């Protein structure tokens, strides 16, 4: 999900005009920020899992049972959201709905499904520039390759060990996630079998 959000954000930024000099920085600087952000997100998630585990052993003995109630509430909201999304998708299929696309060099009454098709087509036509090459020399591949470069640190140039931080936090997060899942699964019987 996070990668999809980053991807969409980068697409939006790429289509916006700039009022001054165009942004320019080293891809490895950007990669360091991305890796720091990922490590921080893992640390935050680990902290949340540890907080829940600690709370369940101190004062909230039925915490994991009640988390099933939170999951239930999330599913209720997700089902309503799916109805909204389905309604909007059906509206895109409606021949009566059109969009004025003259600002984009198209007509003033384009069918909405055609607009979606044009968007996918434009992305596909620019796939090489947007996604880059397997060597990671441009496009989004350049940013991903820069992360790989920072993690492997082939020239021993980074004072901070990004690979150790990433690997350590990922391992700790996996362990905490497994503990959380075990506790949550152990509460299934109490959560779904009313007395």
Mean pLDDT value of segment 106-115: 96
Q: How confident is the model at residue 15 (pLDDT cuts 50, 70, 90)?
A: low
Given a cut of 90, is residue 45 above it in pLDDT? Answer: yes
- Which distant-in-sequence residues (6+ apart) come within 8 Å of 147 by Cβ? 31, 34, 35
Contact predicate 44/167, CB 8 Å: no
Give CA torsion, residues 158, 6, 167, 48, to 10 deg. 120
Mean pLDDT of all residues in the chain?
Answer: 91
Q: How far apart are CA 6 and CA 72, in angstroms?
A: 29
Given a cut of 90, is residue 9 above it in pLDDT? Answer: no
Given a cut of 70, is residue 32 above it in pLDDT? Answer: yes
SS3 110: strand
The model's pLDDT over 151-166, given as tens digits with 9 standing for 90+, comes to: 999 999 999 999 999 9
């Amino acid at each position: 999900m996070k990668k999809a959000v980053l991807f969409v954000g980068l697409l939006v930024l790429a289509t916006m005009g700039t009022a001054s000099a165009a942004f320019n920085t080293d891809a490895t600087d950007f990669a360091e920020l991305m890796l720091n952000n990922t490590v921080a997100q893992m640390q935050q998630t680990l902290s949340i899992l540890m907080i829940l585990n600690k709370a369940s052993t101190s004062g909230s003995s039925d915490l994991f049972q009640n988390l099933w109630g939170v999951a239930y509430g999330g599913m209720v909201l997700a089902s309503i959201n799916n109805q909204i999304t389905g309604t909007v998708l059906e509206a895109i299929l409606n021949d009566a709905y059109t969009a004025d696309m003259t600002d984009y060099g198209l007509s003033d009454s384009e069918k909405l499904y055609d607009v979606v098709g044009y968007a996918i087509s434009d992305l596909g036509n620019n796939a090489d520039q947007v996604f880059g090459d397997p060597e990671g020399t441009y496009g989004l591949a350049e940013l991903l390759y820069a992360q790989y470069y920072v993690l492997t640190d082939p020239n021993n140039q980074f004072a901070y060990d990004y690979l150790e931080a990433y690997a350590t936090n990922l391992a700790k997060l996996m362990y905490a996630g497994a503990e959380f899942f075990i506790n949550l699964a152990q509460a299934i019987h109490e959560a779904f079998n009313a007395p």
